């Protein structure tokens, strides 16, 4: 089984970090007792600019969670369609050939879910198996690829697609002036990404995957790791006002303590060592998360440049981030054929998802 393609889609509204800082200072007004602290937090996340679902002036008009979620449903359909169409085109796969559609988000709710709406918009198969995933947060991009891999492992003549849409700006809480929310206001952003995964026998029943020359790595193995008793480290507190961020400062410590061992055990179970890996596709998180990841895995000399660049250019896109990093590696930093690599992300649970790749 193989990752045939990855593609991203973003809203048309892109703003510099400085402009967004000024807008947020105005948005909170006198309730923000220490504007300098907000500026300092925004600077520390190292983000230079972000895409937003709406023009900044539209956020002042949103008064309820329902209004924010209505905007989420509208924009999620648009971006999800764009990302999936691009991923299909890059893979040389027809929409009708997708046997399963996985959709992940943690920033909005719809029933029927967005994947159902995409079936109608793109004319996907009426027999497609669809799996909407909510609540996995940042880890869901990696987990979604792993679940798509599970599917094509069972149905090797088929292809599966994953679509992630995260519109983090529409979750911002105006009444929440906690440090976690202030950090989030400078770190998280909006975007979508899609991945097509094909089974081992797919090429014989469909178009050549390599037609556009950007087919991706083989998925050799996957692993999910759950850390018991850590559910309060990351996620949402959900109320009548929407999603309030939960973000523990202990997350980097957890990563340092567990990620290296988990990766080593995963690799050992498949006859490999960490030194065998030459490619790293890792969720962007934030500066402290990337620094903790580098320390846990002993990575240096630019091995996380793709993740750092994604964070700098577009911010943290939650589940879509690792997919955007994957797209960048496939298009601009492609490893030599045969290179082993790791795709990984961590998120609410607390948990991690690991995929062993061969380019």
CA distance 326 to 41: 28
For the chain, domains (ranges, CATH) are: 2-211 (3.40.47.10), 217-358 (3.40.47.10)
pTM of the entire structure? 0.93
pLDDT value of position 274: 95
pLDDT in tens, 31-72: 888 888 899 999 999 999 999 999 999 999 999 999 999 999
What digits encode the pLDDT tens for the residues 134-167?
A: 999 999 999 999 999 999 999 999 999 999 999 9
pLDDT at 176: 87
**Nearest by Cα to 270 from 342, 200, 179, 323:** 342
Is residue 124 within 8 Å of residue 118, measured between CB atoms? yes
CB under 8 A, 24+ apart: contacts of 298-304: 298/260, 298/274, 304/280
pLDDT of 78 > 60? The answer is yes
* Residue (of 336, 346, 294, 339) closest to 138 by Cα position: 346
How far apart CA 339 and CA 173 sit, in angstroms, is 44
Among residues 85, 138, 168, 351, the one annotated as catalytic is 138
Give mean pLDDT, residues 249-265.
95
| Catalytic residue status for 138 | yes
For residues 279 and 344, give the distance between their C-alpha atoms in angstroms, rounded to a whole number: 11
């Amino acid at each position: 089984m193989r990752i045939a393609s990855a593609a991203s889609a973003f809203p048309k509204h892109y703003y510099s970090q400085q402009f967004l800082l000024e807008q947020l200072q105005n948005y909170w007004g006198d309730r923000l007792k220490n504007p300098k602290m907000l500026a300092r937090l925004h600077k520390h996340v190292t983000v230079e600019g972000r895409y937003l679902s709406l023009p900044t002036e539209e956020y002042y008009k949103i008064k309820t969670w329902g209004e924010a979620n209505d905007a989420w449903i509208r924009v999620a359909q648009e971006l999800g369609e764009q990302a999936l169409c691009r991923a299909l085109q890059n893979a040389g796969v027809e929409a009708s050939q997708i046997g399963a559609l996985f959709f992940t988000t943690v920033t909005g709710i719809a029933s029927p879910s967005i994947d159902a709406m995409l079936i109608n918009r793109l004319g996907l198969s009426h027999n497609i198996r669809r799996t909407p995933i909510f609540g996995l947060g940042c880890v869901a991009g990696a987990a979604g690829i792993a679940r798509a891999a599970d599917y094509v492992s069972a149905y090797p003549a088929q292809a599966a697609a994953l679509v992630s849409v995260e519109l983090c700006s529409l979750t911002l809480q105006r009444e929440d002036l906690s440090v976690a929310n202030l950090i989030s206001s400078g770190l998280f952003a909006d975007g979508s990404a899609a991945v097509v995964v094909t089974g081992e026998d797919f090429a014989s029943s469909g178009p050549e995957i390599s037609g556009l020359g950007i087919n991706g790595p083989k998925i050799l193995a996957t692993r999910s790791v759950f850390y018991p008793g850590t559910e309060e480290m990351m996620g949402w507190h959900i109320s009548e006002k929407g999603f309030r961020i939960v973000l523990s400062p202990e997350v980097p410590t957890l990563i340092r303590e567990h990620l290296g061992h988990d990766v080593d055990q995963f690799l050992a179970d498949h006859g490999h060592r960490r030194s065998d890996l030459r490619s790293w596709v890792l969720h962007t998180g934030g500066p402290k998360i990337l620094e903790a990841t580098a320390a846990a895995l002993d990575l240096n000399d630019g091995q996380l440049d793709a993740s750092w660049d994604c964070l700098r250019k577009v911010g943290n896109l939650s589940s879509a981030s690792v997919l955007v990093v994957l797209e960048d590696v496939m298009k601009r930093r492609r490893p030599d054929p045969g290179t082993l690599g790791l795709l990984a992300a961590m998120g609410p649970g607390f948990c991690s998802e690991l995929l062993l790749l061969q380019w």
